[in-house]
Structure 1
Amino acid sequence: MRVMGVDPGLTRCGLSVVESGRGRSVVALDVDVVRTPSDAPLAQRLLAISDAVEHWLDTHRPDVVAIERVFSQHNVSTVMGTAQAGGVVALAAARRAIDVHFHTPSEVKAAVTGNGAADKAQVTTMITKILALQAKPTPADAADALALAICHCWRAPMLARMAAAEALAAKQRHAYTTKLAAQAKGAKMKAAR
C-alpha cells in the first residue's frame, strides 16, 4: 500500500510518501516541505499548497492520503490555516477518488513511538530508525508527514476490520428490523381476521 502523509500548515506543509511491505515494513519514497510566505495573500498560499499536492498525487499515485486531524491550539489563526491547508489536500485527493483518513497527533505519536504524548524529537528519532534513514528528516514537518504515513500503514488493517465489522452489524441490524416488521405485520393481519 502506498500512503501519502500530510502534516498540513500554511507556512510549512509536510508531504511524504511511503510504501508498506509485509508486517510492519515501511519504505520512504519521498519527503518534502512546501513553504509559503506568511505575507502572501491566503488564497495564493492555499494555491501554492494545492499545486504542490496535486503534483505529488499525480507523480506518486498513492492509494490513500493520511492527514493530521486539526485540534484546537492557543492561536486560532494557526488552527484556521492548518485546517484550510488540510482541506485543500483532502479535496485534491477526493477529486482523484483517493481515500482520505485523518489521524490525531496522539494516534500518530502512539503508533510510531508507543507514547501518545511523545515530543517531536522522539517522533523524529523513531521515524529515522523505522525507515533506516541515514539522517533525521528536517524540518519537523517532514518527520511528522512521514509519521502520519507510517501510522496509517500500521493502523490500516485494524481500520479495515472495524469497517467490515460495522458493515456486518448494519446488515444484521437491517435483517433484524425487517424480521420484526414482518412479524408485526403478520400479527396485525392475524388479529384482523
Structure 2
Amino acid sequence: MRVLGIDPGLTRCGVGVVDGTVGRPLTLVDVNVIRTSPAEPIQQRLVTIERGLDAWLDEFEPDAVAVERVFARSDSSTIMGTAQASGIALVVAARRGLPVALHTPSEVKAAVSGSGRANKAQVGAMVTRILRLDAPPKPADAADALALAITHVWRGGAVARIEEARIIAQARIEAAQKAQRKAAAAAAARSRQ
C-alpha cells in the first residue's frame, strides 16, 4: 500500500509518501513541505497548496491519503489556516476518488511512538527509526506527514479489512433475506393453488 501523508498547514504543508504493509518494513518514497508566503493573499496560498498536492498525487499515485484531523488550538488564526489547508487536501484526494483517512495528532503519536503525548522530537526520532533513515526529516511538518502515512499503513489496512468484512457480511445477510422472501412467496403461491 502506498500512502500520502499530509500534515496540513498554510505556511508549511508537510507531505510524505510511504510504501508498505502491516507486519513488514515500511519504505520512504519521498518527503517534503509545500511552502507558501504569508505575504501572499490567502486565496493564492491555497491555490499553491492545491497545485502542490496535485503534483504529489500525479507523481506518486498513492492508494490512500492520510490527513491530520484539525483540532481547536488557542490561536484561532493558526487553526483557520490549518483547516483551510486540510480542506484543500480533502478536495484534491476526493477529486481522484482516493480513500481519505483523518487521524488525530494523539492517534498518530501513539501509533509511531507508543505514547499519545509524544513531542515532535520523539515523533521525528521514531519516524527515523521506523523508516531506517539517517536523520529525522526536517522540518517537523515533513516528519509529521510521514508519521501520518505510517499510521495509516498500520491502522488503515486493518480498518479497510474490517470494512470489507462488514460489506461481505451485509451482502450475505441481504442475500439470505432475499432467499427467505423468495421461499415465502413460493410457499404462499403453492398454498393458493
Category of TM-score, reference length = shorter chain = 0.7 to 0.9
How many residues are aligned here? 193
Tell me by how many angstroms 1:154 deviates: 0.5
Stretches of structure 2 that go unaligned for 5 or more consecutive residues are 183-193
**Partner residue of 2:49?**
49
| Runs ≥4 residues deviating over 2 A | 164-182
Tell me by how many angstroms 1:138 deviates: 0.8
1:119-165 deviations in Å (ceiling 9; x for gaps): 11110000011111111111100100000000000012220233135
Stretches of structure 1 that go unaligned for 5 or more consecutive residues are 183-193
8 Å contact kept, 1:26–1:131 = yes
Instruction: Give the aligned residue type for 2:65.
Output: V
Instruction: Give the aligned residue type for 1:138.
Output: K
Tell me by how many angstroms 1:64 deviates: 0.6
C-alpha distance in 2 between matches for 1:7 and 1:74? 19
User: Helix, strand or coil: the match of 1:162?
Assistant: helix
C-alpha distance in 1 between matches for 2:54 and 2:90? 11
8 Å contact kept, 1:24–1:154 = no
Identity over aligned pairs, percent: 52
C-alpha distance in 1 between matches for 2:121 and 2:43? 32
Tell me by how many angstroms 1:166 deviates: 3.8
User: Helix, strand or coil: the match of 1:133?
Assistant: coil
**Partner residue of 2:147?**
147
8 Å contact kept, 1:66–1:149 = yes
User: Helix, strand or coil: the match of 1:65?
Assistant: strand
CA RMSD, Structure 1 to Structure 2 (Å): 2.5
C-alpha distance in 1 between matches for 2:24 and 2:155? 10
Instruction: Give the aligned residue type for 1:32.
Output: N
Q: Does 1:74 align with 2:104?
A: no
8 Å contact kept, 2:8–2:82 = yes
Instruction: Give the aligned residue type for 2:14.
Output: G
C-alpha distance in 1 between matches for 2:179 and 2:54? 49
The verdict on how the C-alpha distance between 1:3 and 1:162 changes in structure 2, with shifts beyond 3 A counting, is: same
Equivalent positions of 1:24-173 (< 5 A) are: 24-167=24-167, 170-171=170-171
C-alpha distance in 2 between matches for 1:6 and 1:50? 12
C-alpha distance in 2 between matches for 1:126 and 1:24? 16
